[in-house]
Amino acid sequence: MFELARTPPAAVTNAIWPAASAGGLVLGLARNNEELEAIQRLRYQVFTDEMNAVFPDTADGLDVDHYDTWCEHLMVQEVDTGRVVGTYRLLTPANARNAGGYYAESEFYLAGLGDLKQEIVEIGRSCTHPDYRNGAVIMLLWSGIASVVQQLGLRYVLGCASVSLRDDGAAAAEVWRRARDILAASPDLPRLVPRHRYPVERLDDVLPGRVPALIKGYLKAGAQICGEPAWDPDFNTADFPVLLDAQRMDARYRRHFGMR
C-alpha cells in the first residue's frame, strides 16, 4: 500500500470499538491485487450482506465491477492488524475516457457539466466497516480525496450520493427538500438529468426523515446537489448527483485537509 496519512493511537483511544483501542489507522492507495480484493470484500460485506444490494458481477464474496480496473482505490486499515475498514474509489478524467465514461454516466446525462468534465475526479463505492462509523475513517478518506485532487491539479469532485428507500422514502424526501432549495438558490449550478428518474413527486413530505450523515457532510464541506435523483435498482436507493468545487470548499475543511 502507498501510504498517505496516519491517525495516531490517541485519536481513537475513546472510540466505541475495542478492536482499535490499542492502535491507529493508516490511509493509503491500494497497489496490488491482494489489497484491492480486501477492499472488494469489505464492499461486499457492507453493500450485499448489510444493505442487501444485488450486483450482476458479484462473485466469491467480492463486489467487483468494470470500473475497478480504472480507479484509484483509497483504503483505511488498522495499523495493528492490516484489516481494511474503509474505502473510496476515484476515477480521473483520463481513466474515465479509458473506461468508456464515468460511473455517474450510467445514472445521469452529464451534458450539463460541459467543459467541467475535464476537471472532475469522480468518487464512489464509499463504505466503512460498522465498527468504525464514528467519523474518523471518513475524515481520513476525505483527506485522501483532497490530496489526490490537489496532486492532479483538478478542481471538481463528482459523486452519486445514495439514499436508502427502505424507509418508504422519508430520508430521500428530506434530501430532496434540501436539494430544491439549493437548486433554486443556484441558477448557475450545472444541472444533471437522471436516466431513470426517481419520482420525487411521490415522496411523502409528511414522513419524518433525516439527511444521511454522508450527504450532510458533503453539504457542510460546500458540495451542492445538482439535480433530481436517479433510481438505482441494485441498491434500492435514490441517488442524488453531488458536485463539489474544491476552490469553494468551506474554509475550515480546506485548512483541515491542508489545501492551498
pLDDT digits (tens, 9 = 90+) for 66-84: 999 999 999 999 999 999 9
Q: What is the mean pLDDT of the chain?
A: 86
C-alpha cell read off for 159: 459523486
Instruction: Report pLDDT for 255.
Output: 85
8: pLDDT strictly greater than 70: no
Residue with more model confidence, 140 or 4: 140
**Band of residue 253 on the pLDDT scale cut at 50, 70, 90:** confident
Summarize pLDDT for 30-40 with one digit per residue, the tens: 999 999 999 99
How many structural domains does the chain have? 1
pLDDT of 3: 43
Statement: residue 186 has pLDDT above 80: yes
The whole domain housing 60 covers 2-256
Cα-Cα end-to-end distance for the chain: 26
Phi, psi dihedral angles at 37 (to 5 degrees): -65, -40
Per-residue pLDDT at 54: 76
Q: Which three-class secondary structure string do you get for the chain? A: CEEEEEECHHHHCCCCCCCCCCCCEEEEECCCHHHHHHHHHHHHHHHHHHCCCCCCCCECCECCCHHHHHCEEEEEEECCCCCEEEEEEEECHHHHHHHCCCHHHHCEECHHHHHHHHHEEEEEEEEECHHHCCCHHHHHHHHHHHHHHHHHCCCEEEEEEEEECCCCCHHHHHHHHHHHHHHHHCCCCCCCEECCECCHHHCCCCCCCCCCHHHHHHHHHCCEECCCCEEECCCCEEEEEEEEEHHHCCHHHHHHCCCC
The CATH number linked to 21 is: 3.40.630.30
CA–CA distance, 135 with 190 (Å, rounded to integer)? 30
Taking 70 as the threshold, does the pLDDT of residue 12 lie above it?
no
Average pLDDT, integer, range 86-93: 96
The pLDDT, as a whole number, for residue 15 is 29
Checking if the pLDDT of 23 tops 80, the result is no
How far, rounded to the nearest angstrom, does the alpha carbon of residue 15 sit from its chain's CA centroid?
23
Residue 114 has pLDDT above 80, yes or no: yes
Q: What is the pLDDT of residue 57?
A: 66
Half-sphere exposure of 29 (CA within 13 A, CB side): 13
Q: Give the closest residue to 117 by CA, choosing from 99, 140, 101.
A: 101
The alpha carbon torsion through 8, 130, 91, 32 (nearest 10 deg) reads 70
Q: Which residues pair with 157 in a beta bridge?
A: 121, 244
Give per-residue pLDDT as tens, 202-215: 776 666 788 998 99
Span 224-246, pLDDT tens digits:
999 999 999 888 899 999 999 99
